[in-house]
Amino acid sequence: MSDLTRRHVLASGAGATALGLAGQLAFLPAANAKDLRKKGHYSYKIGDIEVISIYDGIWKKDHADNFAVGKKIPEMKSALRDAGQTDEFVPIEFAFTVVKSGGKTILIDAGTGGQLAPTAGLGAKGGLAAAGIDPKKVDMVLVSHMHPDHIFGMMEKGTNAQIFPNAEILVGETEYDFWTDPAIIEKLPERRKPLAQRIQATFPKWKNVTHFSGDTEVAPGIRAVDSFGHSPGHTSYHISSGDDEMMLIGDAIIVPALFLANLDWQLVFDADKDQATATRKGIVDRAISDGMTISGYHFGFPNAGKIRKDGNSHVFEPASA
């Protein structure tokens, strides 16, 4: 999808009420954000729907030329400093989401499972429990896309046993078909082949996996929204209750200091870079024009708030929890 139309993003300009806050949005000072990371979770309301963000840690990625395609390390470091962030590394933080709606407990993505960066996996190591979430009582897992930092939290390291054995797992059909096609393994770069092999050894054998296609309601108050580009079938999820709404955008935008502040920069990890750029711009246009609250998987913590224009650039302002 290259254009997020009004049909795809149901707009009401809900403002502060989209986070269950009274009055104007309040933006969180850095010291408070640090405390929130330590706590590991926070909750808010979208109308009658409870939303809980779970902090999963950080990947302190070493700098490399072309992480933003065509950009050198000094230019990316400068962008991080301009956003008030460290330039010692690229800070890629992880936060997944629990939604309680229609009597169901629903995960949107599941974190790294402690199987990637050593400073990540906090959700599996205690964040879910601290938020009162029992993996055996999760009813549904909605997958934005099948990259490891989003799905490894669904499977035990070594055995691939399911962490959420009683949940229905929903994956967009385009994304699922891409990763489960046996022919794709030889076409992928070497760094992606183990991921495809692990997916093909697990997901097709799990009896609780179902698929959906296009803009459709996948759970009470939750609609899937095509946001292709970062991966072949990347999906965002729109949550609405009454007049309140928000969009969980997964990896449609990552590292706001780089790819929100510079919408034309392209991420080396994006499968279709031009489509990903168009999708990113569409999300930003809707978020600003409709006052929509968004939540990004890699937006730091707290990871829900507003996008605003800042001169020729854009910034993300997280809402106080």
Alpha helices by DSSP H, listed for 106-152, are 122, 128-130, 148-151
Residue 63 lies in a domain: yes
With 0-12 / 13-18 / 19 or more C-beta atoms within 10 angstroms meaning exposed / middle / buried, residue 154 is buried
Q: What angle do CA 1, 270, 156 make, to 5 degrees?
A: 105
Residue 172 lies in a domain: yes
pLDDT of the residue at 320: 65
CA dist 59 and 67 (Å) reads 14
Helix or strand run (H / E) with residue 7: none
Helix (H, G, I), strand (E, B) or coil at 170: strand
Residue 77 lies in a domain: yes
Residue 6 lies in a domain: no
Domain coverage including residue 313: 15-318
Residue 7 lies in a domain: no
Mean pLDDT for back-to-back runs of 10 residues, the chain (321 residues): 31 34 38 82 93 96 98 97 93 97 97 95 94 97 98 97 97 98 94 96 97 95 97 97 94 96 97 98 93 93 92 86 51
| Closest C-alpha among 157, 144, 143 to residue 209 | 143
What CATH number did the domain enclosing 156 receive?
A: 3.60.15.10
Residue 3 lies in a domain: no
Residue 224 lies in a domain: yes
Number of domains, the chain: 1
Residue 9 lies in a domain: no
CA dist 118 and 81 (Å) reads 25
Q: Is the pTM of this model over 0.75?
A: yes
CA dist 199 and 188 (Å) reads 14
